[in-house]
Amino acid sequence: MLDLKSIEKAAQRLHGVAHRTPFSYAPILSELSGYEIYLKKENLQRTGAFKLRGAFNKIATLVERGKRGGVVAASAGNHAQGVAFSAKYFQIDATIVMPESTPLTKVQGVKDLGAEVILHGSNYDEAYAYATDYSKEHHKDFVHPFTDDEVMAGQGTIALEMLEEQRNLDAIVVPVGGGGLISGIGVATKVINPNIKLIGIASEGASAMKNSFDHGHAESTQSVRTIADGIAVRDASPITLKHILDTVDRIDLVCEDEIAAAVLFLLEKQKLLVEGAGAVGIAALIHNKLDLPKGSKIGIVLSGGNIDVTMLSLIIEKGLVKSSRKMKLSVILVDKPGALMQFTTLLSRVGANIVQIDYDRTSIDLAFGDAVVSVELETKGVDHQEEIRTILSEHGYSFKELH
């Protein structure tokens, strides 16, 4: 049963194992938004994410009941590391089933924690189906990433820590995927202070729980596509949905560009490396989606910081475009000596820094005597980009923006 007592018991088990992560005032975000913002930095947790809390509490309860035959989990990310760490702590075997497409660094990270890794399936759902069958066949306990009372109780310890430090919060903002994190936080929060609004934030590309919340019953989406892989859940769980309907005030969505901008903002302004799923609350904040009275005291959970280097590069790129600091143009020039120099000189006059340029005079789409230049520019914001558009138009250039 998930209740405040079970969450407090989980906190006792986690004492000295999970970090009590900082819950600190964020002056830049507060000034920007007009709210009083506090960040719960689970990106600084052991294994880099909150998932350790739930996995450790689940495995601890199994060990307390004398079940030491080993555990199985399916995950391509944070849950895998949480289970592997916890199994190693209790000196029991762990088998993690990961999709075949899982990056090598993530696979190695789980192996380094002592777990056996099985690569199976092209996506999480196929890995999950295999893992549940494997656990039954080998008589091992399956540790679900969210639809489990002990797992949710472990995640709920985050709320205990937040409210011990700031009991009079007006709202708590939590990432939503499968719903285990917000279920645990919601149950604890609404008992301790039922006046606190609980707001879930999901990705537009993984909207199953948002749709389920709005319609009052569990729904699935046909596909999932988001850079916030930690909340990329296709099928909503009736178990977590019940707790969400009981405790959550609303669930909002953020798009991919907004998530990317939030990751970049945290990296630049807060000096925090946060993965896409962990940044959705900030995405909602900086894009004015929280819709709370100005001056509200808000706690935002940064759920994790484990981000693949390749994905980080992509997110930074998207974030720069979204924040109007990068601009990509395709420009038609007359193919004659000096034309390219005239074009680049014009860009230099408005302070646009060229970071990449490509010149093509052979495309079949071009008229005879024309060339096309694809150029990537570093820019200084919305006004600067408008200045670039204006000067190109004034000098007769035909161009289009690339995204």
Predicted confidence (pLDDT) at residue 380 exceeds the cutoff of 80 = yes
- Across the range 286-300, mean pLDDT stands at 97
Span 324-402: which CATH code? Answer: 3.30.70.260
CATH 1.10.10.350 assigned to 4-49+148-320: no
Predicted confidence (pLDDT) at residue 310 exceeds the cutoff of 90 = no
- CATH architecture observed for domain 51-142: 3-Layer(aba) Sandwich (3.40)
- Average model confidence (pLDDT) across the chain: 94
Predicted structure pTM score: 0.89
What tens digit of pLDDT does each residue of 27-63 get? 999 999 999 999 999 999 999 999 999 999 999 999 9
Predicted confidence (pLDDT) at residue 403 exceeds the cutoff of 80 = no
Predicted confidence (pLDDT) at residue 322 exceeds the cutoff of 90 = no
What tens digit of pLDDT does each residue of 183-230 get? 999 999 999 999 999 999 999 999 999 999 999 999 999 888 888 888
Long-range (24+ apart) CB contacts under 8 A made by 18-23 are 18/45, 18/46, 18/52, 18/53, 18/56, 18/157, 19/44, 19/45, 19/46, 20/161, 21/45, 21/161, 23/161, 23/162, 23/165, 23/166, 23/299
Q: What is the pLDDT of residue 203?
A: 96
User: What is the per-residue burial (b if ≥16 Cβ within 10 Å, else e) of 92-120?
Assistant: bbbbbbbbeebeeebbebbeebebebbeb
Active site residues: 51, 303
Predicted confidence (pLDDT) at residue 326 exceeds the cutoff of 80 = yes
The segment(s) of the chain belonging to CATH 3.30.70.260 are: 324-402
The segment(s) of the chain belonging to CATH 3.40.50.1100 are: 4-49+148-320, 51-142
Predicted confidence (pLDDT) at residue 364 exceeds the cutoff of 80 = no
What tens digit of pLDDT does each residue of 272-284 get? 999 999 999 999 9
- Across the range 357-365, mean pLDDT stands at 87
